[in-house]
Structure 1
Amino acid sequence: MTPLQASQLQDRFAAVWARAGGTHARDAFADLAGRYGEPGRHYHTLDHIRRCLRDLDWARDAIAPDDTDAVELALWCHDVIYVPGATDNEARSAGWILQWGTGIAAANRIAALVLETVHDGMPASPAGRFTADIDLAALGCSRMRFRHNGACLRAERTDLDDQAYDAAERAFLRALLDSPRIYYTELFHARYEARARSNLAWRLAQPGPAGVTGIRR
């Protein structure tokens, strides 16, 4: 990330943080950026957040105006805590907004949106569905990008050998492919569903532990 890109990200974070009522934006961003830049992260980085923000901006007109800042802040912090193999990363990331966002009236709502990125069923609210869909939008990217993302995700899981990783990855991807819908909003379903299913089917057809797509946890 170049200094200009870092500055632009910080400015954007500070703007939405202030609109939501947050204080100490510089300190909050420094902590957030430091966590996304931890050694060992290859996919769950600020690059992932930048891609999420691009999809948010593309979808902005379809999101209720009262929801956009909450969705954006949920995306900013949904992977701020990432411990490979941990099952409470999303819950701890939700806790981050509650810790730092003491002046944000919607902090509890934002924390609830973060929990939608567990992807364990259809979110109850439109804001939750957009948050979840944006997080998974990368599944519907080009095959080349899909493979690159998979290599990055595999690189994060040094706690698993190839066989264990392959089994866990296949279980996660098969569950997505077997679900009636990967994307719950009509907008993301129309844009990404077919390509995401093609990417998942392609990966599952590959023999042996290839590590080319990657599990989320």
Structure 2
Amino acid sequence: MENEPLIDETLKSELEALYQAADRHYHGLAHIKAMLALATEYRQLLDDPEAVEAAIWFHDAIYDSRAKDNEAKSAQLAEKKLAGRVDPRRLARIAAMINATATHQLPLRDEKTLNDAALLLDMDLAILGAEPAVFDAYEKAVRSEYGWVEEPMWRAGRADVLKSFLARAHIFYTIKFRDRFEAQARENLGRSLQGLQDQS
């Protein structure tokens, strides 16, 4: 059971199909591949690299911009698809990491989960610290996913999200990601917030 890859080729194909849906402008395959690349780069810091990779593959598997329970449904899908491939405690850690991406708060679990969840959440938010042109493309892509939201409501809601990140003592949980992305992320978020407020 433990020797088989958590995400085999069949499951990978199923998940890739979900991530290639037409309404995914940001939360698609490119986002997953960017996170997997970071997981490879920081693999030595992970307690359970394969579990983190599984959490990355599943964390946005269910995505509907009108819904509030995407992460919970994605975690349920992981539990269903990975049942029998992984022991229940490890599967619970994977589900906890997926659920943590809903609020970007660390799950209250054991140290192993906390370390890996912190790195997973930082990988998920690494786009915030991208160079300005890449960050701006991300912002446009997210706006496209919420195309059904009228502009004034979008500006107010998005401004609240950006303010909540800027209000944190640290956007990133780990020193490695803070050193690499924090300053640029604050600059990007501040510029984006200013733009939203200028339009209001």
- Fold match by TM threshold 0.5: yes
Which residue, out of 4, 15, 18, partners 1:32?
Answer: 15
User: Which residue of 1 is the match for residue 176 of structure 2?
Assistant: 187
- CA separation in 2, counterparts of 1:130 and 1:120? 11
Which residue, out of 69, 73, 84, partners 2:54?
Answer: 73
Which residue, out of 105, 108, 115, partners 1:121?
Answer: 105
> What displacement does 1:46 show?
0.5
State yes or no: 1:130 paired with 2:130.
no
Equivalent position SS for 1:136: helix
> What displacement does 1:17 show?
9.1
- CA separation in 1, counterparts of 2:80 and 2:91? 9
User: Which residue of 2 is the match for residue 48 of structure 1?
Assistant: 31
Q: What TM-score, normalized to structure 1?
A: 0.82
> What displacement does 1:27 show?
3.5
User: Which residue of 1 is the match for residue 94 of structure 2?
Assistant: 110
Cα contact 1:91–1:115 (8 A) shared by 2: yes
User: Which residue of 2 is the match for residue 208 of structure 1?
Assistant: 199
> What displacement does 1:157 show?
0.8
Amino acid at match of 1:19: P
Could you tell me which runs of 5 or more consecutive residues in structure 1 were left unpaired when the two chains were aligned.
Answer: 1-15, 210-217
| Count of residue pairs brought into register by the alignment | 189
> What displacement does 1:30 show?
2.7
Amino acid at match of 2:50: D
User: Which residue of 1 is the match for residue 153 of structure 2?
Assistant: 164
Task: Work out the percentage of aligned pairs sharing the same amino acid.
Answer: 31
- CA separation in 1, counterparts of 2:79 and 2:3? 13
> What displacement does 1:42 show?
0.6
CA 1:17–1:114: 2 relative to 1, 3 Å: farther
> What displacement does 1:62 show?
2.0
Cα contact 1:77–1:97 (8 A) shared by 2: yes
Amino acid at match of 1:175: S
- Kindly provide the CA deviation profile for residues 58-100 of structure 1, in whole angstroms up to 9, marking residues without a partner as x: 2112222xx2111111011100000012110110110111111
CA 1:17–1:161: 2 relative to 1, 3 Å: farther
Amino acid at match of 1:54: A
- CA separation in 2, counterparts of 1:62 and 1:121? 19
Amino acid at match of 2:93: R
> What displacement does 1:28 show?
2.0
Which residue, out of 134, 138, 141, partners 1:152?
Answer: 141
Could you tell me which runs of 5 or more consecutive residues in structure 2 were left unpaired when the two chains were aligned.
Answer: 109-113
User: Which residue of 1 is the match for residue 5 of structure 2?
Assistant: 19
- CA separation in 1, counterparts of 2:50 and 2:104? 23
- CA separation in 2, counterparts of 1:99 and 1:17? 19
